[in-house]
Amino acid sequence: MDFSHTEFAFSRLSPFQMRRYALLFQLLQYRAWVQIGVAFLLQAHKWKLPIHRLVKRNLFQYFCGGETLQECISVLETLRSKGVGAILDYAAEAQSGEVAHARTFSLLQQTLAFCSTSMGPGFFGVLKLSALSEMQELENFDSWKSTPACETLRGRLRQLATQAEAGQGSLLVDAEESWVQGGIDALTLELMEAYNETRAVVYITLQMYRHDRMALLQQLVRQATEKNRYIGIKLVRGAYMEKERARADAQGSPSPIHATKADTDAAYEAALDFCLAHRDRVSVLVATHNEISTQRFVHQLLAEGISPQDSRYTFSQLYGMSDPISFTLAQAGFRVFKYMPYGPVADALPYLTRRALENSAMRGSANREYQWIRAEMARRRRAR
Ligand SMILES: Cc1cc2nc3c(=O)[nH]c(=O)nc-3n(C[C@H](O)[C@H](O)[C@H](O)COP(=O)(O)OP(=O)(O)OC[C@H]3O[C@@H](n4cnc5c(N)ncnc54)[C@H](O)[C@@H]3O)c2cc1C
């Protein structure tokens, strides 16, 4: 599969939008400037300076679907016309206080209802546990798990999973920093046991940059076989590498992250192989922008005679990134969903600044986006 065909992938962008897109990814390659820009935005937000327009017309426009579900509709329709679905992600993270948690819960319910009616069976909903509980509580899960507050959270999670199940959709639980992930995994596994009796309704996220995740995957399959359950896995490499390493260094403890990128890549591909080998139990959402992993897995599916429309296999890339991968896969008939954050600019700011920092930390990936955009601009010039 050739991901260098940019015409179809970028056909939704006007020449003006292409130029702005190119400028954005060019700027994201200057790490020091990105760090200064991010610090400025976060400070300006704290001081309540009027940055809404600046953020909305730049980062937000490229990485988020809209501020409300209504605003996302035209983007969703454009994607749908090209055979690409969307996973609407209410862009709140690390929310604090019961008022904020209750509000996030209600917005998640609204999002699931919207996805169920507008997308129909097979839709995906997604949540971040740090938006529904305190980081501190997740971090100290063993002492928190039997409190009334944790019961409230469990009740909310069950309501969301019930809603996804009733609409014949699935619910993805995002993975976060390793020090809160133990609590997130425990709560997600409880849900999987309750809801994954006949199919994978609830998906756990495995970050394969962690060296303990392959053992967890093997354990999940063993337990699911014993208990006659299905498993949904969202497979990612992991987004918090720098934070994880900094914390391990500060505490003088070993880092939970593989030592090299090659080790993470090998673990990611080994996990995909394992999921495929246990396909009687495992559904997998292949969440990556990595061309090699994607190509390799596509070849494996085809070699095994598995239909591109088999509901156990879904590919997903973030909205605003790797469109040539998403649209080429969709053109070839595979199930592809863009992971699309939405919500008020102020709520999306942590996600957007993380996007900017991650892109600037991985020069390769920001470069790859920039190369695709430049290739499409050159193709359009030649066509004129
Ligand atoms: C649909 C979708 C959903 C996602 N959901 C989550 C989520 O819930 N939780 C989460 O944490 N992330 C999530 N991510 C982000 C993901 O974890 C990666 O950060 C991002 O996709 C980049 O990895 P890649 O596989 O796309 O590509 P690549 O560019 O091939 O890989 C980059 C990744 O490799 C790893 N890496 C880079 N350098 C090194 C090194 N020196 N040593 C070890 N490892 C290294 C890091 O994980 C880095 O992010 C999601 C991504 C997508 C596309």
Atom of ligand 1 nearest to the CA of 205: 8
Q: What is the mean pLDDT of residues 130-146?
A: 96
Residue 192 to residue 194: CA distance in whole angstroms: 5
Q: Would you say 200 and 232 are in contact if contact means Cβ atoms under 8 Å apart?
A: yes
Tokens of 255: 């880092």
Residue 247 to residue 255: CA distance in whole angstroms: 8
Mean pLDDT of the chain: 93
Cβ neighbours for 364, distance < 8 A, ≥ 6 positions apart: none
Predicted confidence (pLDDT) at residue 157 exceeds the cutoff of 60: yes
The preferred substitution site among 180, 210, 236 for testing ligand 1, maximizing ligand atoms within 8 Å of CB, is: 236
The DSSP bridge partners found for residue 203 are: 172, 232
β-pairing verdict for 124-127 and 170-173: parallel
Tokens of 188: 């997600």
156 φ, ψ to 5°?
Answer: -65, -40
Q: How many CB atoms lie within 10 A of CB 343?
A: 24
Residue 154 to residue 25: CA distance in whole angstroms: 40
Residue 222 to residue 228: CA distance in whole angstroms: 10
pLDDT digits (tens, 9 = 90+) for 185-243: 999 999 999 999 999 999 999 999 999 999 999 999 999 999 999 999 999 999 999 89
Question: What structural domains and CATH numbers belong to the chain?
Answer: 68-347 (3.20.20.220)
Question: Which protein residue's CA is at the shortest distance from atom 38 of ligand 1?
Answer: 261
188 φ, ψ to 5°?
Answer: -65, -40
Tokens of 273: 């192989």
Give residue 272 CA to ligand 1 midpoint distance, Å: 15
pLDDT digits (tens, 9 = 90+) for 237-290: 999 998 999 999 999 999 999 999 999 999 999 999 999 999 999 999 999 999
Residue 17 to residue 10: CA distance in whole angstroms: 10
Cβ neighbours for 17, distance < 8 A, ≥ 6 positions apart: none
- Whether residue 34 has its Cβ less than 6 Å from ligand 1: no
Give residue 241 CA to ligand 1 midpoint distance, Å: 9
pTM comes to: 0.95
